[in-house]
Amino acid sequence: MRFSVLATVLLAGGIVVGGCNATLSPAPPLTARPSIAPSGPAGVASCTTADVQAAGGPWGGAAGSRGADVAVSLKGATQCLLPPRPVVAVLDATGVVVVQARPVVASSQPPLAAGAPVSFSILFSNWCAPGAKLPFRPVMIVEGGAVELSGLSLMTTDALPPCNGPGQPASLSATDWQLR
């Protein structure tokens, strides 16, 4: 299923908090709102937080960014459909979204099957905001909420990407799904 235009606007505009803001405001909960028309195999439901698990690490650093690979697999045996592309966010210690990747409109959802994990890479850049409420927890947004990317918590300010563009927002991105 594709994210509706309204959900895209809400996710991109309503809960993104720029990394260079001196103060962070509360954000609404992360939710995915699919359109009605399915875009994957008939009879296969979208993956929910109860269906999937994700783990990554370690973080690597280059050119002022922090990046890591993430593996996503099923918790059970029932196939489900992933979002068209990974949508990731970083939450602070209080659960506030401090940066989120922009959702990308795509036409189909890849299936996630038992024994066939998928992966993607995450890139976090330009953290300039003082007073970070650590630890930061990267998450992947799926139907019904967010799945923590275990192994990727950022525990200290030294673990955060450096500020290479004062006055510019932090950025977060994810690559397309890859079969493992």
Domain boundaries along the sequence of the chain: 5-39+51-179
Report the residue count for the chain. 180
- Go through 82-120 and write b for each residue having 16 or more CB atoms within 10 A of its CB, e for each that does not: bbbbbbbbbbbeeeebbbbbebeeeeebbebeeeebbbb
Find, among 56, 33, 38, 39, the residue nearest to 118 by Cα.
56
pTM: 0.78
**Residue with the larger pLDDT of the pair 137 and 8:** 137
Find, among 9, 2, 142, 6, the residue nearest to 70 by Cα.
142
Task: Confirm if 37 and 44 have CB atoms less than 8 A apart.
Answer: no
pLDDT of residue 31: 45
- Tell me the Ramachandran region of residue 60: left when phi exceeds 0, alpha when psi lies from -120 to 50, beta otherwise: beta
Under the banding of pLDDT at 50, 70 and 90, the label for residue 17 is very low
pLDDT of residue 87: 94
pLDDT tens for each residue of 89-123:
999 999 999 999 987 777 788 999 999 999 999 99
Distance CA 12, CA 115 (A): 33
Task: Confirm if 113 and 23 have CB atoms less than 8 A apart.
Answer: no
